Amino acid sequence: MFKSYLSIIKPGIIVGNLFSVICGFFLASQKNINYLYLLKIIISTSLIIGSSCVFNNIIDCDIDRIMKRTNNRVFPKNIISLKKGFIYAFILGINGFLLSFFWMNYLTTFIAFLGFIIYVLFYTAFFKKNSIHSTLIGSLSGATPPVIGYCSVSNQLDLCSMILFFMFFFWQIPHTYTIAISRFKDYKKVNIPLLPIKKGITITKKYIIFYIFLFTIFNVLLSINGYTSYIFLVVSIILNTLWIAISLYGFKKDVNNHLWAKKNFLFSIFIITMISVIIIFDSL
């Protein structure tokens, strides 16, 4: 039963988001690292993200029963009831926000709450099943973790926090589009109105390149405004050039869209991880 409760908080998603929280925290700290404070941020943010993931599982239970990839999840198989899941999500969320409120500044708690509401209510409960623009809405929430980490130290929304937000926002969109292409049949089966399903895979590939280009611009802005070193600038440009090259390969006539999307997806994780690592080391 422990494994079931652990699985519905989606540990992989928590770890990925925490990495971007830490990235923002180190960027704002600039060699003055308070590791005990960082631990408190990790604990409270983990609970909030875990809560949002459980609510996501509850709301998506109907489509998870139909999709091949998700029909073995905890709620579709009724291993945990939806009622118990709701109570679990509520307890995680309340504790996460209370700890955030008492341990961090009000701005950080507000940003965390905003990200939570956008993800659970706007993205999961409405836009995901009803709008082609759901990826953009979900990406707003996905871009809040680094800002949470940054503002927990700075206690202000400045130029750096805005660059960080848009950088992660523009990364999230092509990352999500590759998931949509690789799982095209599953999403089409449950009528999720994602871009590749409504407008086609070729159009989606063009948007992927467009958003990678915007992501690259904000990488550059982070350096030319003095927030990161020129080492970060050079490495990020090289990595983004490789990402664009991988994306352009998707336009070959004989390309296997499923395999191409999976490779693109994996590289998107690699690039955001490497960029976050460089930012962290830049700040030490």
Tell me, yes or no, whether 151 and 162 share the same domain.
no
Task: Write out the DSSP string of the chain.
Answer: -HHHHHHTT-HHHHHHHHHHHHHHHHHHHTT---HHHHHHHHHHHHHHHHHHHHHHHHHTHHHHTTSTTTTTSTTTTTSS-HHHHHHHHHHHHHHHHHHHHHHS-HHHHHHHHHHHHIIIIIIIIIIHHH-TTHHHHHHHHHTHHHHHHHHHHH-S--HHHHHHHHHHHHHHHHHHHHHHHHTHHHHHHTT---HHHHT-HHHHHHHHHHHHHHHHHHHHHHHHTTSS-HHHHHHHHHHHHHHHHHHHHTTSTT--HHHHHHHHHHHHHHHHHHHHHHHHHHT-
pLDDT at residue 70 greater than cutoff 90: no
Tell me, yes or no, whether 34 and 148 share the same domain.
yes
The whole-model pTM stands at: 0.95
Band of residue 31 on the pLDDT scale cut at 50, 70, 90: confident
Band of residue 122 on the pLDDT scale cut at 50, 70, 90: very high
pLDDT in the model for residue 68: 82
Could you tell me the residue range of the domain that residue 190 belongs to?
Answer: 158-284
Tell me, yes or no, whether 66 and 173 share the same domain.
no
pLDDT at residue 67 greater than cutoff 90: no
pLDDT in the model for residue 201: 97
* Whole-number Å distance between alpha carbons of 229 and 279: 9
Tell me, yes or no, whether 144 and 254 share the same domain.
no
Q: pLDDT tens digit string along 134-160?
A: 999 999 999 999 999 999 999 999 999
Q: CATH code at 4?
A: 1.10.357.140
Distances (CA, A) of 118 to 39, 112, 150: 25, 10, 19
Band of residue 61 on the pLDDT scale cut at 50, 70, 90: very high
Domain boundary among 141, 156, 171: 156
Tell me, yes or no, whether 145 and 173 share the same domain.
no
Tell me, yes or no, whether 222 and 237 share the same domain.
yes
Tell me, yes or no, whether 149 and 284 share the same domain.
no
pLDDT in the model for residue 283: 87
Number of other residues whose CB lies within 10 A of the CB of residue 140: 17
Tell me, yes or no, whether 62 and 79 share the same domain.
yes
Q: pLDDT tens digit string along 192-235?
A: 999 999 999 999 999 999 999 999 999 999 999 999 999 999 99
Tell me, yes or no, whether 113 and 219 share the same domain.
no
pLDDT at residue 101 greater than cutoff 90: yes
Tell me, yes or no, whether 58 and 182 share the same domain.
no
- Rounded to the nearest integer, the mean pLDDT of the chain is 96
Tell me, yes or no, whether 128 and 170 share the same domain.
no
Number of domains in the chain: 2
